[in-house]
Amino acid sequence: MINRTEFKVRFSEVDSMKVVWHGHYVKYLEDGREAFGAQYNIGYLDCFAHGILVPLVNIEIDYKRFLLIGEKAVVETRYVDSKAAKLKFEYTIFNSQTNEIVVKAKSVQVFLDTNHELLFTQPDFFVQWKLKWGITD
């Protein structure tokens, strides 16, 4: 399961050299997760509607190249299945004009109940979501 979302580098995202500041790539990954969630009905509000919170617990980013102001790029967000009670994603950010890889990244989110207690098994709604999309362990 993959989502591809295009974006354009804005003035507010670059440093004095017109290069995207490294911290903004985390926002691009977030944009990718939000677009993935909207496409596949597993967004933050979908989880919250089932009484589940999904905080990030790990992000790994491997910077390959940089983006400049005005360039267009695509964040490709891929769901990675896991038997654990986690949401895992892998990302590739491409420069739209050159198709060069800019960033490779991974993230992990866990499931918490509304009391902020960690769930050690996959919530029922998530199991049903996986079945709906043909994802089986």
CATH architecture assignment, domain 2-132: Roll (3.10)
- Parts of the chain with a pLDDT under 50: none
**Distance (Å, rounded) from C-alpha 41 to C-alpha 7?**
21
Is residue 18 helix, strand or coil?
coil
What angle (nearest 5°) sits at the alpha carbon of residue 29, between those of residues 88 and 94?
110
Is 62 one of the annotated active-site residues of the chain? no
Q: What is the pLDDT of residue 136?
A: 76
Q: What pLDDT digit, counting tens, does each position of 20-38 carry?
A: 999 999 999 999 999 999 9
Handedness of CA 88, 28, 2, 131 (dihedral sign): positive
The residue from 15, 81, 113, 124 that is catalytic is 15
Break the chain into its structural domains and give their ranges.
2-132
